[in-house]
Amino acid sequence: MVVSAVVAVAAIGGAAVNANAKKKAGETQANAAKSAAQIAEENTAKATGVRTTAIRGAADQQMTGLTDSTRINNETIAAASAAQTDAINRSANELINGAKEAQAVYEAAIQNGNQAQVAAARAALEQKVAAANQATQAVIDGRNQAQQTYQTGLDKSTAQITGARDQASTQYRQGIDQTNQRLNADSQAAIIRNDAGVTSANDTIGTARDKAVADYNAGIASANSTITGARTAASTTNQAAVDAANKGLLTDRDSAISLFNQGIGRANDAYAAKASEARGFVDSSTAAGNTTLREMFDVNKSGYDPYINTGLEANNQLTSGIAPGGDFVRRFSMADFNADPGYEFRKQQGVSTIQNSALARGGLLSGNTLKAVSDYGQETASDEYGKANDRFNTDMSTRFGRLSTLADRGMNATGQVAGMRTNLGRDISGNLIQAGSKKADISVAEGTYTGNNLMSGGRYAADTTMSTGGRIADNTIGAGRYTADGIAENGRTVGNNNLSGARFGAEAGINAGNTIANNTLNGARYGSDTMLDTGRVIGANSLAGSRYGADNTALNGMTRGTNTALGADYAAGVQAANGLSTGTNIDRIGQWTGDTTGLIGQYDADTIRNIGGSQANMINGMAALNADRTVDLGNVDTARLNAVGRNNAGYATDAAGIQAGSTLAIGDAEAAGIDTANKYTMDGILGAANARSAAQSARGGIWQDGINRAANSFTSMYAMNTPPPKKPGGG
């Protein structure tokens, strides 16, 4: 919308330049005609009293018409300005208040983060913009109304001027006709000869002028073709350089991103290697610690092994002894009694004593001895059986108690070893859990480091892309400005060539025509001098009448031309004011929308406004240059026309017409050059804006892609290296 406003302002500026050129041309021609009339008036100073009276009456009526025209013109301008000012004020107030309210609601919705509110606020802001556009249309309607009012005033003024002129001409012509009726016959021959001389002089002037114009057109066409070709070649070369620079920027950007990614990959690989080495160190340290714990367990267990083995053997004997048929569950038997060492010893001692005693008496084999031995054996057996049973039971109890003591000591040793084994398992499990936790910490740190590197890579790629896009956009804008400046300079140069060529052609044609015309006029005047003596009065009256009619026609035409030019200037001013008001409203909307959109929109708006300002300055400079050139040209032409008018007023008028046509052609050429420059400038602005928008989109995509890849990598590594949660109860 801002670009359209700039284009509209530029178009209005071009139209204003063209209108000013036409206005200056009309003023130059009118001044030349007026100068010719003044010279003719000086040559006919002896006009009759009737002519003087008619001139005064016509002047009074003309002054009255001019006074009325000026008053109506001022009233029309005041009414149109008031209508335009009121429309602009209403449009600006409605735009500012409505857009500010919508902007406040929109900014509050953005801060709240509610997308529905943001959408609603956005729709409200667009409605305010639509209302502002309606206000702008009201400005346009006010402009049209003011222009119509002004045109009505112009038409009324023109009608009054024309009526006053016609009345003055009628009164003056009546006086001239009364005099001319008496002198008409004497002046016919002189008029015929003078007309023949003037016709010959004018034909000669036309031939010289046509040749000068033809030579000028050929030279200017060649120069303009060369300038345009040079400008096109320069623009092509500049664009090729910009394309090469942009291609180099893209290549450097891709190379920088690739090198940065390679560096990130090497850093990630190195960190992964160190993390793997650290996990291996944790594994080896844990294995070494567990081995040491097992060795200490084996050393401590070896001290309990004898007790465990003795207890195991004693437990085996107890188990075997209490089994059915075992030693600890059988009863005392005769075999046990017979095997009792006490009984056998006492029996042997007693038998030996009896036998020794019998032997000493000499009755070893006697019946008494045998009976004594038998009785002793029975008595001993009876006495020793109970004692042998007691000794058997006592011996069994003693053996069982000793074996039980040994078994208890073995069981205690086994319990100590079992506790040591439990502690060993707990310590080894603790080491393994701690090692797993350390490895998980290392893996999480590795994932964090890798994710941060990937995010840094994404940011670097996005920043590099953004920077490259900005530089490419700057290059594109620079190329557009270079092309626009080249076109504008080309237009100025072509305009200068046209102006210089027109001046040269006009001077050459005027100088050559002056000499031929002077010779022709002198010959005609020499032949008509004798006839002019008798027809001088009627000639003077006719000339005065013609001059007075020409004065009225020229003055009326000048007034109409002035009014028309003022109307064109006023319409152009209204259009310019309307375009500027619309551009201002649109510019404010662009600023408010840019505030909610972000720094990128603000940058584009500032860039377009700066270029629009530069374009406006260029148009103003061109308009001022055209005005100065037109004034200078009018001054030069006026001086020359005064000189030519001393010889022939008609020739001066023709020369002024030629100069006016040249000025109009120059104004058209310069306006066309400005329009072409505006077009190329706008193309450069749009190309730069599109390039910057594409770069920003690419930057956002690359940045988001880098963030997504880093987040995915971090999440994957964290999930892969995080140990599973423990079950309830420590299982």
What is the count of structural domains for the chain? 2
Residue 730 lies in a domain: no
**Residue 626 near residue 667 (C-beta atoms within 8 A):** yes
Residue type, 286: T
Among residues 426, 417, 21, 454, which one has the least CA distance to residue 268?
454
pLDDT band at 731 (very low <50, low <70, confident <90, very high): very low
Question: Does one domain contain both 425 and 365?
Answer: yes
Question: Does one domain contain both 465 and 432?
Answer: no
Question: Does one domain contain both 432 and 475?
Answer: no
Question: Does one domain contain both 510 and 652?
Answer: yes
- In the chain, % of residues over pLDDT 70: 64
Residue 276 lies in a domain: no
Burial class (CB in 10 A: 0-12, 13-18, 19+), 122: middle
**Two tokens, residue 131:** 């209302």
Question: Does one domain contain both 419 and 532?
Answer: no
Q: Supply the DSSP symbol for 646.
A: T
Question: Does one domain contain both 462 and 490?
Answer: yes
Residue 444 lies in a domain: no
Q: Supply the DSSP symbol for 1.
A: -
Residue 200 lies in a domain: yes
Q: Residues 535-559: what's their mean pLDDT?
A: 65
Question: Does one domain contain both 168 and 36?
Answer: yes
Could you give the CA distance from residue 699 to residue 695 in angstroms, rounded to a whole number?
6
Could you give the CA distance from residue 536 to residue 613 in angstroms, rounded to a whole number?
64
Residues in contact with 584: Cβ distance below 8 Å, sequence separation at least 6, in sequence order:
92
**Residue 240 near residue 526 (C-beta atoms within 8 A):** no
Q: Give yes or no for residue 493 having a pLDDT over 70.
A: yes
pLDDT at 86: 79
Residue 447 lies in a domain: no
| Range of lowest pLDDT (320-329, 500-509, 588-597, 682-691) | 588-597
**Residue 423 near residue 334 (C-beta atoms within 8 A):** no
Could you give the CA distance from residue 575 to residue 569 in angstroms, rounded to a whole number?
10
* Residue where a domain terminates, one of 439, 463, 483: 439
Question: Does one domain contain both 195 and 337?
Answer: no
pLDDT at 312: 92
Question: Does one domain contain both 535 and 649?
Answer: yes
pLDDT at 686: 78
Q: Residues 43-72: what's their mean pLDDT?
A: 67
pLDDT tens sequence across 398-448: 999 999 999 999 999 999 999 999 999 999 999 999 999 999 999 999 989
Residues in contact with 507: Cβ distance below 8 Å, sequence separation at least 6, in sequence order:
640
Question: Does one domain contain both 288 and 246?
Answer: no
Highest mean pLDDT, choosing among 487-491, 580-584, 694-698: 487-491
User: What is the chain's mean pLDDT, rounded?
Assistant: 75
Higher pLDDT, 555 or 716: 716
Residue 448 lies in a domain: no
Q: Count the Cβ atoms, other than its own, within 10 Å of residue 198.
A: 17
Higher pLDDT, 486 or 272: 272
pLDDT at 292: 95
**Residue 172 near residue 51 (C-beta atoms within 8 A):** yes
Question: Does one domain contain both 75 and 190?
Answer: yes
Q: Residues 311-323: what's their mean pLDDT?
A: 90
pLDDT at 630: 57
Question: Does one domain contain both 481 and 353?
Answer: no
Residue 729 lies in a domain: no
Angle at which helices 367-597 and 49-112 pack, to 10 degrees?
170
* Angle at the Cα of 315 from the Cα atoms of 313 and 318, rounded to 5 degrees: 110
* Angle at the Cα of 565 from the Cα atoms of 658 and 569, rounded to 5 degrees: 130
pLDDT tens sequence across 662-695: 566 656 765 676 576 567 657 766 775 785 677 5
Could you give the CA distance from residue 510 to residue 506 in angstroms, rounded to a whole number?
6
Rg (CA), the chain: 65
- In the chain, % of residues over pLDDT 90: 18
pLDDT at 6: 47
Residue 685 lies in a domain: yes
Range of the domain at 329: 281-439
Residues in contact with 716: Cβ distance below 8 Å, sequence separation at least 6, in sequence order:
447
Could you give the CA distance from residue 24 to residue 362 in angstroms, rounded to a whole number?
197
Among residues 638, 668, 672, 669, which one has the least CA distance to residue 655?
638
In 323-366, alpha helices (H): 334-338, 341-361
Burial class (CB in 10 A: 0-12, 13-18, 19+), 552: buried
pLDDT tens sequence across 365-399: 777 777 777 777 777 776 777 788 888 888 888 99
